[in-house]
Amino acid sequence: MSDPNDTQQLTLTGSEQEDLDPAHLARFQFERAVIHLSHFKQGLVDFLVAPKRVLEVNFPIELDDGSVKNFKGYRVLHNRVLGPGKGGIRYHPEVNREEVIALATLMTWKCALIDVPYGGAKGGVRCDTKQLSQVELRKLTRRFITELGDNIGPNTDIPAPDMYTDEQTMSWVYDTYDILHPGRNNLPVVTGKPLDLGGSFGRKEATGRGVLYATQRYLEKDGVAGLPEISGASVVIQGFGEVGGTAARLFQKEGAKIIALSDSHGGIYSEEGIDLEAAREFKQTHGMLVGLPNTTTMTNADMLELPCDILIPAALGNQIHRQNASRIQARLLVEAANGPTTAAADDILSERGIPVLPDILVNSGGVTVSYFEWVQNIGNERWSLAEVRQKLQKRMYTAVDTTLHRWDKLQTPEQPTQIEAAADETGSYNVPINLRTAALCVAISRVANVTLERGIWP
Ligand code: NAD
């Protein structure tokens, strides 16, 4: 995300108030899935949800004006049963321990679902990048990576960019690690690097392209009655950044009509479809989309409720919630952002028969191409853009197929076990089984099965 001040707060009041804590949402979704995995022992389930390691570091930086400031940073390795930890580093004033743990947990499920041999990890430093110069950011990055020491490494825990960190930050991460570990190939210690420093073709577009592939496959598999393909579909996209902007371009190329788009300043609408080239130029000149000729202005909230075939939230979390879920008029919700749908909204949409392609599936293109970068770095190779895209498509399609297969099986459970029967009495087993639960069941089962195959130590 490009601006910490973009964070839109939801104002929910009185009895309508929802728990919007991302850590609670992740835990709730996990618990809903493990109801259907009752063959795993409780102790194993407890292990799967808890982070393996939480590091908290404090370090000082001398600022440009000569003053000294202390910073707090975190690196969480949630699980490394499938392979080394993988997850971004975030620089944001609100970074905190619980949030980093929740994001690391989600990475474990995302990597398992898309079938890359990684565990989940995440890191962050509590800071406001807008208040720091490039020199200060470089010092902060180098000192943070030094503090993490051998807790990161090409075969142990591999960082990547996240909010307010980019290719430049990853170059400093690599350089610092390389200086501390000379004489070996350290390129695979971090992904999201610039192309001429071991980055991969297709990394920048990967998440948006993954959104396209996941949607394409789901429609091909008759996910939405009467909507067999993207061509001809009307699409609303919230967010016009790296993910939303790429998705808009690719969906339009596939023949979709982008009828509404937004950024933090508001939304724009055109029944005939928005000219994306003009939108990009207008945003570059004016810093916002609102005001683009031949479009109507609307709020981000109203835009989400437009009638359309496909709604793609690609900005913030908690955008579709208890209060607006009953007014969503899309035929398919594609979660490009992390956590855009609250637990209550999930249930309302399930009951209304609106399918939700979940975030851990839809936005896993980014970590997939990060994995490709790592493989190329280890083998001293460079794959062509066409090769990267073809490999990404294969993995996204397989993940959609696997999720659908699991969803199908969950609709007709065998004899309920004791745990399922108990959950049934509380009503929690009876909630509609959605694609998120199915995707989580696939991911959690993979990690649980490999844990058992490896054998509980000693
Ligand atoms: P970005 O910073 O490039 O773009 C974010 C966009 O959201 C911007 O256009 C911004 O104006 C807009 N925005 C901010 N506040 C808004 C608001 N209140 N209403 C509407 N729009 C608003 O970020 P990104 O990399 O495109 O990430 C978008 C989402 O995708 C995030 O949830 C992120 O966690 C998730 N995601 C990104 C990647 C990736 O590879 N970039 C991977 C997985 C998940």
pLDDT in tens, 172-211: 999 999 999 999 999 999 999 999 999 999 999 999 999 9
Q: Is 57 in the pocket of ligand 1 (CB under 6 A)?
A: no
Question: Regarding beta strands 266-269 and 257-263, do their DSSP bridges make them parallel or antiparallel, or are they unpaired?
Answer: antiparallel
For residue range 339-376, what is the model confidence (pLDDT) as tens digits?
Answer: 999 999 999 999 999 999 999 999 999 999 999 999 99
For residue range 30-68, what is the model confidence (pLDDT) as tens digits?
Answer: 999 999 999 999 999 999 999 999 999 999 999 999 999
Of residues 86, 110, 122, 283, which has the active-site annotation?
Answer: 122
Tell me, yes or no, if 394 is annotated catalytic: no
pLDDT bracket for residue 11 (50, 70, 90): very low
Residue 3 has pLDDT above 50, yes or no: no
48-186 in CATH: which number? 3.40.50.10860
In this prediction, residue 414 carries a pLDDT of 63
Residue 430 has pLDDT above 90, yes or no: no
Cα distance between residue 311 and residue 333, in whole Å: 5
Question: Regarding beta strands 68-79 and 53-62, do their DSSP bridges make them parallel or antiparallel, or are they unpaired?
Answer: antiparallel
In this prediction, residue 423 carries a pLDDT of 56
Q: Is 2 in the pocket of ligand 1 (CB under 6 A)?
A: yes
Distance 404 CA to ligand 1 centre (A): 27
- Pick the range with the lowest mean pLDDT from 213-217, 288-292, 430-434: 430-434
Q: Is 376 in the pocket of ligand 1 (CB under 6 A)?
A: no
Which candidate, 205, 221, 244, places its Cα nearest to that of 400?
221
Residue 419 has pLDDT above 90, yes or no: no
Distance 315 CA to ligand 1 centre (A): 4
CA distances from 268 to 243, 276, 282, 317, 319 (A): 18, 12, 12, 20, 17
Percent of the chain having pLDDT more than 90?
Answer: 88
pLDDT bracket for residue 421 (50, 70, 90): low
Q: Is 306 exposed, middle or buried (0-12, 13-18, 19+ CB in 10 A)?
A: middle
The order of strands in the sheet holding 296-298 is 296-298, 266-269, 257-263, 234-238, 308-313, 330-334, 356-357
Q: Whose CA is nearest to atom 13 of ligand 1?
A: 264
Distance 21 CA to ligand 1 centre (A): 18
CA distances from 322 to 10, 311, 345, 346 (A): 11, 17, 5, 9
In this prediction, residue 412 carries a pLDDT of 80
Q: Whose CA is nearest to atom 16 of ligand 1?
A: 264
Domain extent listing, the chain: 48-186, 224-354
Q: Is 205 in the pocket of ligand 1 (CB under 6 A)?
A: no
Q: Is 296 in the pocket of ligand 1 (CB under 6 A)?
A: no
Distance 204 CA to ligand 1 centre (A): 13
Looking from the CA of residue 338, the nearest atom of ligand 1 is 32
224-354 in CATH: which number? 3.40.50.720
Residue with tokens 């570990």, as numbered in its chain = 181
Cα distance between residue 389 and residue 12, in whole Å: 41
Same fold, 48-186 and 224-354: yes
Are the C-beta atoms of residues 283 and 307 closer than 8 Å to each other? no
Q: Is 303 in the pocket of ligand 1 (CB under 6 A)?
A: no
Give mean pLDDT, residues 389-409.
Answer: 97
In this prediction, residue 86 carries a pLDDT of 98
Count CA within 13 A, CB hemisphere, residue 184.
10
Cα distance between residue 442 and residue 204, in whole Å: 27
Q: Is 240 in the pocket of ligand 1 (CB under 6 A)?
A: yes
Which candidate, 31, 41, 35, places its Cα nearest to that of 417?
35
Give mean pLDDT, residues 419-434.
Answer: 61
Mutate which of 114, 263, 269, 396 to test ligand 1's pocket (most atoms within 8 Å of Cβ)? 263
pTM assigned to the model: 0.93
Distance 243 CA to ligand 1 centre (A): 6
